[in-house]
Amino acid sequence: MTVTATSVDRPDRLQPPPAKGARARLIRLVPALVSALSGVLLYVSFPPRTLWWLALPAFAGFAWALRGRTWKTALGLGYLFGLGFLLPLLVWTGVEVGPGPWIALVVIEAVCVALVGAGIAAVSRLPGRPLWAAALWTAGEAVRARVPFGGFPWGKVAFGQADGVFLPLAALGGTPVLGFGVVLCGFGLYDIVRLLLRRRDGEVRRSAAAVALLSVAVPVVGAVGARALVSDKAEAGTATVAVIQGNVPRAGLEFNAQRRAVLDYHARETHRLAAQVAAGKEPRPDFVLWPENASDIDPFAAPDAAAVIQGAAEAIGAPVSVGSVVERDGKLLNEQILWDPVKGPLQTYDKRQVQPFGEYLPMRSLIGAINGEWTSMVRQDFSRGDKPGVFDFGRVKVGLATCYEAAFDWAVRDTVTHGAELISVPSNNATFDRSEMTYQQLAMSRVRAVEHSRTVTVPVTSGVSAVIMPDGRVARHTGMFVPAHIDMKVPLRTSETPATRLGILPELALLLVAAGGLGWAGAAAARGRRAADV
């Protein structure tokens, strides 16, 4: 490689002469088109497809579009990337309520991506730019996971990597480190291509080449090394768990009007499993897991619902975790109930991260003035629980993260730090029909399994229900909108991964890196000169 020490761009040697007329206008649209298509490419890398590797060229294209842009241009390009990614990714949010909420959600979420784009453009001429840029992307995800209305982490890059080679990074530092590694590799890939193209002019510094190569190599080597943290070995013995999918009378919001039918369906599937156990066709489970909303009739207030649950628990001869809607002390709660076949209800867990516009309505009066139908769909806000959910099924401790909570790092982690040997994610996806939402959420649970080295069960009212091994592998799963169950032996684990022990620290470290990059770029701009470039 020919090496010279140069610190400024030579755009005259890298770009063709200025174009004129319509051709010039078309060329000016290329960065916008590349940004939008790169966003679409990132979407395509997400489940149910297994094209995880497309995230790398997606971020390489984004890096090309942003490099050297003004902050105003970068805002627009970042917004286009956000729209290209989030519009198709989140289309399921409008399955039953129309396009309004879907479009509004994407418009708001893409603002954060736009701001990240401006930041990436600012650091795009710094030495080590892939590091600063990837840290800024992670910082943007951290913000989206917290604001507005408690955050919306859906679309974290980590959640698209359940089938990828980078997945073991989740055990090292959780979703922030996994996502950072993927984005760093994508930005590094762009720099490698750019430097190879410049090599013909002999204007490549060794330090620049080293940074580009390390940006790609370090995440890959780190993922390979982190595989030692991934294991499905039983550390505390095994347990036989049964996951019940009762199905719903039909897809859509109206299934809530048929609450008794949903409860009966789950009881019926439990009785069917009990008959197979009695016939010796299935192993007797140590405990049974029903999904969220399996009983939208409050069993503490409705004796007939309590009798149905009690009958199912007695038939299977094991405690059952029942997802229910409960009203207590004037509060509406999305609750899991541990129901013992002998002693009845013993423990409860109230969902802590409730879904805005689904389980509660922010700015109710304003929203009602805009569209009264939205307030009628969420007539009463759900209240939040305040304690981690860990059910004691005899010798087995099961952590609970109800549906939407699986997207939040803290909501899953603190079940493990409170002793969970297995994690359950009871969910209700019937509202979203056969959309990609179910597969996106399943991928989240696979990442959580590796992140905390725990078996993860996913009981869902209408599917896809699954049992996931601690290495992220789906051991068994059901179809959609069919009654079904899974009854199998799974490993119990007690050790904590670095991700579990470190908690939020890796994310904070990456936030500091992002702030450092912006500070450096800002200082260089204030001095009226460009930072050293290669």
What confidence score (pLDDT) does residue 531 get? 47
Classified as helix, coil or strand, 294 is coil
Q: How confident is the model at residue 5 (pLDDT cuts 50, 70, 90)?
A: very low
**Dihedral angle of Cα 134, 145, 102, 332, to the nearest 10 degrees:** 170
Nearest Cα neighbor of 74 from 30, 41, 39, 32 is: 32
In Å, what is the CA distance from 515 to each residue of 111, 429, 512? 19, 38, 5
Q: Which residue has the tokens 């004129």?
A: 20
Cβ-proximal residues to 326 (8 Å cutoff; 6+ apart), any chain: 298, 299, 300, 301, 332, 333, 335, 337, 348
pLDDT for 269 equals 98
Find the catalytic residue in 203, 282, 292, 421: 292
pLDDT tens digits, residue range 90-135? 999 988 777 888 999 999 999 999 999 999 999 999 999 999 999 9
pLDDT tens digits, 460-490: 999 899 999 999 999 999 999 999 999 999 9
The residue with greater pLDDT, 257 or 350, is: 350
Q: Cα angle vertex 162, ends 55, 116, to 5°?
A: 40
Mean pLDDT of the chain, nearest integer: 91
Q: Does 387 qualify as catalytic in the annotation?
A: no
Residue 101, pLDDT score: 84
Confidence check: pLDDT of 255 > 80:
no
Residue 97 near residue 367 (C-beta atoms within 8 A): no
pLDDT at 409 (0 to 100)? 97
The span from the CA of 76 to the CA of 515, in Å, is 22
Task: Identify the active-site residue in 109, 141, 282, 403.
Answer: 403
| Separation in Å, CA 406 to CA 145, 423, 445 | 12, 10, 7
372-431 pLDDT, tens digit each: 666 666 778 899 999 999 999 999 999 999 999 999 999 999 999 999 999 999 999 988
- Where do runs of H (alpha helix) occur along 317-408? 364-370, 372-377
- Judged by DSSP in three states, 424 sits in strand
pLDDT recorded at residue 307 = 97
Q: Which of 47, 260, 240, 83 is closest to 162 using CA atoms? A: 47
CA distances from 453 to 160, 230, 487, 501 (A): 18, 7, 21, 12
First to last CA, the chain: 15
Contact 176, 153 (CB under 8 A): no
Q: How many other CB atoms sit within 10 Å of the CB of residue 500?
A: 19
For residue range 175-191, list pLDDT tens digits in order.
999 999 999 999 999 99
Q: What pLDDT sits at residue 398?
A: 98
Instruction: Let me know: does 404 contact 67? Beta carbons within 8 Å.
Output: no
* Range 521-534 average pLDDT: 70
Catalytic residue among 351, 405, 421, 436: 351
Q: How far apart are CA 479 and CA 469, in angstroms?
A: 18
User: Could you tell me the CA-to-CA distances from 180 to 415, 442, 525 in Å, in that order?
Assistant: 24, 21, 26
At residue 207, the pLDDT reads 86
How far out from the chain centre does Cα 318 lie? 32
List the beta bridge partners of residue 489. 240
pLDDT value at residue 17: 58
- Coil, helix or strand at residue 135: helix
Whole-number Å distance between alpha carbons of 487 and 243: 6
336: which residues sit within 8 A by CB, 6+ positions away?
A: 292, 321, 322, 323, 324, 348, 349, 351, 389, 391, 400, 402, 426
pLDDT tens digits along 434-447 = 999 999 999 999 99
**What would the two tokens of residue 3 be?**
């090496």
Residue 295's pLDDT is: 95
Q: Which two tokens stand for residue 150?
A: 């408690």
Q: In sequence order, which residues have a C-beta less than 8 Å from that of residue 459 and are 6 or more positions away? A: 243, 244, 245, 289, 290, 291, 424, 425, 426, 427, 465
Residue 511 has pLDDT above 70, yes or no: yes
The CA-CA-CA angle for residues 149, 351, 305, to 5°, reads: 135
In contact, 427 and 378? CB cutoff 8 Å: no
**208 vs 141, residue with greater confidence:** 141
Lowest-confidence pick of 74-88, 273-287, 296-310, 366-380 = 366-380
Residue-level pLDDT at 154: 95
**Residue tagged 């990436």 (tokens):** 120
Quote the pLDDT of residue 506. 98
* Angle, helices 129-144/55-66, rounded to nearest 10 degrees: 110
According to the model, what pLDDT value does residue 95 have?
83
Question: What per-residue confidence (pLDDT) applies to 1?
Answer: 41
> CB within 8 A of 504, min separation 6: which ones?
409, 410
Active site residue 351: yes
Asked whether 244 and 288 are in contact (CB, 8 A), the reply is: yes
pLDDT of residue 20: 64
Residue 94: other Cβ atoms inside 10 A: 18
User: Is 269 in the active site?
Assistant: no
The pTM of this model reads 0.91
Alpha-carbon distance of 321 to 318, in angstroms, equals 10
Tens of pLDDT along 17-72?
555 677 777 778 999 999 999 999 999 999 999 999 999 999 999 999 999 999 99
